[in-house]
Amino acid sequence: MTLTNTFRAQPDDSGHFGQFGGRYVAETLMPLILDLEREYRAAKEDPAFAAELDDLLKHFVGRPSPLYYAERMTEHVRATAAPGKGAKIYLKRDELNHTGAHKINNCVGQILLALRMGKTRIIAETGAGQHGVATATVAARFGLPCVIFMGATDVERQKPNVFRMKLLGAEVRPVTSGAATLKDAMNDALRDWVANVHDTFYIIGTAAGPHPYPELVRDFQSVIGKEAREQILEREGRLPDLLVAAIGGGSNAIGLFHPFLDDPEVAMLGVEAAGHGLDTDAHAASLAGGEPGILHGNKTYLLQDEDGQITEAHSISAGLDYPGIGPEHSWLHSIGRVEYSSATDKEALEAFQTVCQVEGIIPALEPSHAMVAVFKRAAEMDRDQIIIANMCGRGDKDIFTVADALGVEI
Amino acid sequence: MSRLATTFARCKAEGRAALVTFVTGGDPNPAATPAILDALVEGGADVIELGMPFTDPMADGPAIQRANIRSLAAGTRTADLLRIATEFRQRHPDVPLVLMGYANPMVKRGPEWFAHAARNAGVDGVISVDIPPEEDQELGPALRAAGIDFIRLATPTSDEQRLPTIMDGASGFIYYVSVAGITGMQQAAQASIDAAVARLKRYTDLPIAVGFGVRTPEQAGPIGKVADGVVVGSAIIDIVAEHGEHAAGPVRDLVASLAAALR
C-alpha cells in the first residue's frame, strides 16, 4: 500500500472520496457511466483534447479571468476593523466569463466529451439558470439540440435566464414535481437520460452526481484555482492565506480550492446558504444541517428526515437551493481540510448591496453568500494577509429577486 | 428453499410464468394498503412487490411518482411499511414479499438495521433501484447475512460485457427492465423481450421476471411464454389512484385478468 501526502488524489478507482461519492444509479445508466469514465480518461491523455479545450476557454469563454484587488472592499473592512486588522481582498473575476458565471468552464469541457462520444443530443438541469444558459450556449456553439430541465418555481424567479436559453435555441422544460426547484429538475433530467441513453449526453452542472461527474466537473472548474494560483504568485509573490467560495453543489468552490489543497498554509472556507437561518427548516446548508445519504447518484451530505426522505432546501439564491452538496466537499469536511460556514438570505442581500456600492460590481446572489464571510473574516485577519474570494457569477439575473426582497418596484 | 425459489419452481411446474405485482406502500394511505395487498393475492398474484415511498423516485414515471407523493403526503413512514409487511406475512405465510425502492430510505439507519428489520417483517427480497452491483457493499452483505435476496436488475443496455457483473452475487430472481426508460411508459417490442430473456438465460439459472410498460393481459400473455415472471406495476397504481381507499375490488379484478392470461 502506498500512503501519499496529498489531498488531490481523490476519488479512488471506484469513484469514492473516502466514504462519499460512488455510482448510485439505475442499472440502465451503468454502462453509459462506465463508458463516460473510459472516454474521460482517454481525453485527459489526449493533447488534442486539451488544445481544443484551452482554445475554447481562451477565445470563447474569455479566460483567463482577472484576479482583481478589491481595494475599496478592503478599505471598507479596515474602516471598522481593529487596528492592524483587515486582510487584502482579491476577487477571482469568473463573473466576467462569457455567459456571466463559472458554469461555462465545465460546459465547454463536457460538450467536447459529448462530441467525442458521438452523442447528438444534450440535456441539463438548472437552478438559477446559469448552468442552463451555459449549456444552451455550448450546444448552440456546436450545433446540438438541447433540452434544459428547470423547476417551475425557478422558471418563475429566473425569467431573464429562461428567455436567454430560448434565444440560444434550447427547449426549457418546466418541472412541476416536488418543490419544483433544482432537485426536481435533476430528477427529471435523470428520467430523460435513462430513456435516451443511446444518443443523449447529460451535462451535469455541479461537482456532484455519479462518478465520474464529480471528478470531471472539478477538473474542468480547476482552471479557476490554477489561474488564481499563478496570478497571486505574480501579484504578491506568495500564496493566499484564505480562499472563500459559495457552496450549492460546490463546483465553483472545488474549482478554486482543488489546486491549493496541498498547500498547507492556504486555509479554505466554503459558505453554504443558511436561508432563513440554520435554526429554521428553511435553509440549504447540507453540511451544517444534513447527514450522509444517497441521492442523484452519489453518497454525500443531504438534508433529510429520520426515514431518509429528502427535505426541501430553501435559499434566496436559486443556484444554492439544493438539499445536497458535491461528495468531495463532504470528504474535505469530514477530514477537516476545508472549513464550512453559512450565510443567511438577509446577510447575503446586505453583502450584495455593499459590493455593488463599494466596488462597482453587481455580484450574483450565490457569491454574495461568499462575500458575507469575506467581510467577516477579513476584519479578523491581519492587514498583510490575503484572501481570494471567487466572484463566480454576475448579478444581472438576480436584480428582480433583489428588488422584490428589498420591496422595490422596478 | 426460500419462498421466492419455491414459488418460481411451483409456477414452472404448472407450466406458467409467475405474476409479480407492484404497489406503492401507503398509497393512498397506510391503513388502505393491507386490503390492496390482499386483493393482489386473491386476484392471483404469485409475488408481491411492496414499494417503499421516496421523495425522489428518479426511475419512475408519472403514475408511480404520484403514488409516492400520495403515500408520503398521507404520512407513511418506514415503520408503517415494516408493520404492513409484518401483518402481510401473518395473513399470507407462503406468498413471497419483496420490498422495492430507492437506496436512501433503506440505508438511513444502517444496512444491518434495515436487513434485520426486513427479516423480522418476513420480507423475502429487496430491490434497490439505485444500488448497482458496483455499490453492492452498501446493502448486499447485510441482506445476504439476514437470508434476504438482493434482487438485481438487468436492462436493454446490459450488454454481454456487463451481464457477468450483474449476475455475480445475484439471487432470488433477475428483474429484467424491458425498456430503457422510466416505469409505466412505453412497452418493449415482444421480439426484443424474447431476445433479451434468451441472452440472460445464458448467464444465469435464476428466474427472469420482465417488467416496465406491461399493463394488460394481452401484453402479459406473450411475455409469460418466454419469461419466468411478468411484473405489473403502473397499471395497478392507476387503479389505486382512481379508486383510492376503495381500490381493492378493481385491483383484484385487474390482477385476476392478468393471472388468467398467464395460465
B101: β partners: B128
* pLDDT in the model for residue A2: 47
Q: Does the beta-carbon distance from B58 to A14 stay under 8 Å?
A: no
Q: Which three cell numbers stand for residue B169?
A: 452475487
* pLDDT in the model for residue A159: 86
B72 to chain A: which residues are within 8 Å by CB?
A: 309
Best of A12, A13, A28, A298 to substitute, by most chain B Cβ atoms within 10 angstroms, is: A28
- How many whole angstroms separate alpha carbon B239 and alpha carbon B230? 18
Q: Which three cell numbers stand for residue A369?
A: 453568500
Residues of B with CB under 8 A from a CB of A: 54-61, 65, 69, 72, 77-78, 102-108, 129-132, 134-135, 138, 152-159, 162, 166, 177, 179-182, 185
Sheet holding A171-175, edge to edge: A171-175, A146-151, A121-126, A200-202
pLDDT band at A4 (very low <50, low <70, confident <90, very high): low
pLDDT in tens, A269-293: 999 999 999 999 999 999 999 999 9
- How many whole angstroms separate alpha carbon A41 and alpha carbon B93? 52
* pLDDT in the model for residue A1: 42
CB pairs under 8 A between A and B: 115
Residues of A with CB under 8 A from a CB of B: 14, 22-32, 177-178, 183-184, 187, 190-191, 194-198, 293-297, 302, 304, 306-311
Domains A16-60+103-217 and A62-100+221-406 share a fold: yes
- How many whole angstroms separate alpha carbon A150 and alpha carbon A162? 9
pLDDT in tens, A114-152: 999 999 999 999 987 889 999 999 999 999 999 999 999
Structure ipTM: 0.96
Domain that holds residue B165: 3-262
Q: B98 to chain A nearest CA, in Å? A: 18
Q: Does the beta-carbon distance from B185 to A195 stay under 8 Å?
A: yes
B166 to chain A: which residues are within 8 Å by CB?
A: 27
A28 to chain B: which residues are within 8 Å by CB?
A: 59, 155-157, 177, 180-181
Relative to beta strand A339-344, strand A267-275 is: parallel
- Average pLDDT, 10 consecutive residues per value, chain B (263 residues): 97 98 98 98 98 95 93 98 98 98 98 98 98 98 98 95 96 95 84 95 97 94 97 96 97 98 96
CATH level 3 topology of A62-100+221-406: Rossmann fold (3.40.50)
pLDDT in tens, A318-328: 889 889 999 99
For A28, the 3-state DSSP assignment is: helix
pLDDT in tens, B57-89: 999 988 999 999 999 999 999 999 999 999 999
For residue B66, the chain A residue with the least C-alpha distance is A177
Q: Which three cell numbers stand for residue A269?
A: 472556507
Choose the closest CB to A194 out of B72, B162, B180.
B180
Neighbours of B13 (CB within 10 A): 8
B49 in catalytic set: yes
- How many whole angstroms separate alpha carbon A316 and alpha carbon B106? 32
For residue A187, the chain B residue with the least C-alpha distance is B58
Q: Whole-prediction pTM value?
A: 0.96
Q: B182 to chain A nearest CA, in Å? A: 6
Domain boundaries, chain A: 16-60+103-217, 62-100+221-406
Hey, what CATH class is A16-60+103-217 in? Answer: alpha beta
Q: What is the CATH number of the domain that holds B85?
A: 3.20.20.70
For residue B162, the chain A residue with the least C-alpha distance is A31
Which region holds residue B184: left if phi is over 0, alpha if psi is between -120 and 50, else beta?
left
For B95, the 3-state DSSP assignment is: coil
B60 in catalytic set: yes
C-alpha of B69 from chain center: 19
Please give the tally of structural domains in chain B.
Answer: 1
Q: Does the beta-carbon distance from A195 to B152 stay under 8 Å?
A: no
Using a 10 angstrom Cβ sphere, with 0-12 exposed, 13-18 middle and 19 or more buried, the burial of residue A132 is buried
